[in-house]
Structure 1
């Protein structure tokens, strides 16, 4: 039996996007946490904790987007057409973060607060519109004859806005648990306090999403509540509750430094898995499948070689950068 290259490519792209959400999520979360940190020295430590790795984190989004353009060009064109406003807003947030990140190092003491504020605003904008885009994809787009036929504002709905707000505590929790690994003393204790409260808000957000998502469309209702799917999909919320309890314990009742971040990655990875299982085999709801959106089969083996080469290289580079900069950040040291 031969390999199904379309499914393999869907898994590769799904893996790249998952790596982006998990790895770039914590440095976006560090930017979100600037809201609650007034001490300038603490902000220096926070931003220095992500300075060596944040460029490498974002490369996963580039890899996922490039692979989707090459392998699923129809889905790529529809997503860009339907979501160009929230995606442009997200890119604006990235640009604001990047400019503020670089200029704050060169700014004087009086001006550094301005760049800190812009870094925080850029993080909020980029994170929020990522969630909006995800919510819009879950709801689906109006498609006829392989083209998006909706309006430029179809992405804006109560559900997409809800997902945008729900992703804020998720990334904030990733950032605060990352800083548990990288900081010491007063800042470390503050991040543990923030982690506890962010986890509680994330629990509320995930509960609301689990309750409302199955009722968005007929396909989601059948996937979650139809028989026998109900018995299979029911294990996912149970696993999520167990993982949530574990994260709560290590944050609230232990002094462990690394486990809270690792378990939070697992919790959000489970949420991502839930999203994939809710949509597959559709790449764009309600009914555009990965097979319908795929490029000609003759081109898939050639492009797979590129993915097989670059994905391990990116993984190796990320591992090396995290290994080299694994120690805690003290004062203004990187």
Structure 2
């Protein structure tokens, strides 16, 4: 039986993007919450919790971007000009944030606060820009033939701005639950309180985006709100609500690992809902993964490389997280 290469590549890129959202999401979330550190020692602990792993997390962003270029070049050629500015802002913010990791630990007390600002605002701006990209993608693109024909700022709408804010809230939740798992004492106690507020804020954002998205596209509305789809797809919102309840209970029960795992589960369900809404379009609202696919010879050639590279990335990721497992304290960290 012949392999459906565009479908396989869609799955690979989808997994890569999801892994990036999760893994870079929580360390961006730590940056978003960075000002909540009560003093320099707590802020050192917060940064130390992600300093050894943050750059490896971004490997998944590279995998997703290069995979899109190789497997779906038409999509790449449309998405890049359509979302040029938010992507550029995201990359610049990630650069400033990455530099802050190295320079902050070497700065003296007179200049250290500048790198605190770089880390915090770089994290917020990078996250918000990713939300703008996601919102612009959901809205769809104006395409004629094989070219993007829309305006430079078509991505900038109330919907995309709200999605940007929602992603900041979501990443902050991942960051708070990560710090619950990795820290102790007053910092951990404060993260429990922040996480409880952020869960409610994230549920509100999920609800608004879930209602707003079908209003943007009649086909999405038909997919979710017509019979029998409404019954077949109802497990997604139901499980999301149940998972949120369990997450709140785990926070009240002062669990340490469960809140982080359950927060990742919430992101998975949101990601699944987005996939259901947009499938099978790689360029909403009209260009499917099969329309945008590169020649099968190209996809096969690059797939061989991915099959070699992906196990190496997974091994490195698991190994690094294993090495740096456990709590981070003021006496143990990155220097």
**TM-score, length basis structure 2:** 0.97
* Deviation string, structure 1 residues 47-66 (Cα, Å, up to 9, x no partner): 00001110110000001101
Instruction: Tell whether the 8 Å contact from 1:243 to 1:267 is kept in structure 2 after alignment.
Output: yes
Aligned equivalents of 2:222, 2:149: Cα separation in 1: 25
Match in the other structure for 2:100: 100
> In structure 2, what is the equivalent of residue 226 of structure 1?
226
Question: Quick check: 2:180–2:256 contact (8 Å CA) kept in 1?
Answer: yes
Per-residue deviation, residues 151-186 of structure 1 (Å, max 9, x unmatched): 110001111011001111100010010011111111
CA distance in 2, matches of 1:300, 1:212: 35
Q: CA deviation at 1:206?
A: 0.8
In 2: Cα distance, 1:159 partner to 1:326 partner: 39
Number of residues of Structure 1 aligned to a counterpart in Structure 2:
333
The match for 1:317 is 316
Alpha-carbon distance in 1 for matches of 2:33, 2:167: 14
Q: Which residue of 1 aligns with 2:269?
A: 270
Question: For the residues of structure 2 that align with 1:285 and 1:229, how far apart are their CA atoms?
Answer: 20
Q: Is residue 256 of structure 1 aligned with residue 255 of structure 2? A: yes
In 2, the alpha carbon distance for the partners of 1:207 and 1:309 equals 40
The answer (yes or no) to whether the contact 2:192–2:254 under 8 Å persists in 1 is: no
Q: Which residue of 2 aligns with 1:22?
A: 22
Question: Residue 165 of structure 2 corresponds to which residue in structure 1?
Answer: 165
User: Structure 2 CA distance, aligned partners of 1:226 and 1:138?
Assistant: 20
Indicate conservation of the 8 Å contact 2:128/2:168, yes or no.
yes
What do residues 77-122 of structure 1 show as CA deviations (whole Å, max 9, x unaligned)?
A: 1000100001001111101101222111111022211211121000
What is the TM-score when the length of structure 1 is the normalising length?
0.98
Name the CA distance, whole Å, in 2 between partners of 1:333 and 1:109. 20
CA distance in 1 between partners of 2:95 and 2:329 (Å): 28
Matches within 5 A, 1:38-187: 38-187=38-187
- Residue in 1 that maps onto 2:197: 197
Match of 1:32 in 2: 32
SS in 2 for 1:257: coil
CA contact (8 A) 1:45 1:332 kept: no
Q: 1:298: how far off?
A: 2.0
- State the Cα RMSD in Å: 1.0
| Structure 2 residue aligned with 1:288 | 287
User: Equivalents in 2 of 1:213, 1:14: separation in Å?
Assistant: 20
What is the rounded CA distance, in whole Å, between the counterparts of 1:284 and 1:231 in structure 2? 27
The unaligned stretches of length 5 or more in structure 2 are none
Look up the SS of the partner of 2:151 in the other structure: coil
Q: Secondary structure in 2 aligned to 1:283?
A: strand
| Counterpart residue number, 1:242 | 242
CA displacement, residues 32-81 of structure 1 (integer Å, 9 cap, x when unaligned) = 00132241100000000001110110000001101110010000110001
CA distance in 2: counterparts of 1:110 and 1:181, whole angstroms:
32
Contact 2:42 2:187 in 1 (8 A): yes
Question: Which range is displaced more, 289-298 or 229-238?
Answer: 229-238
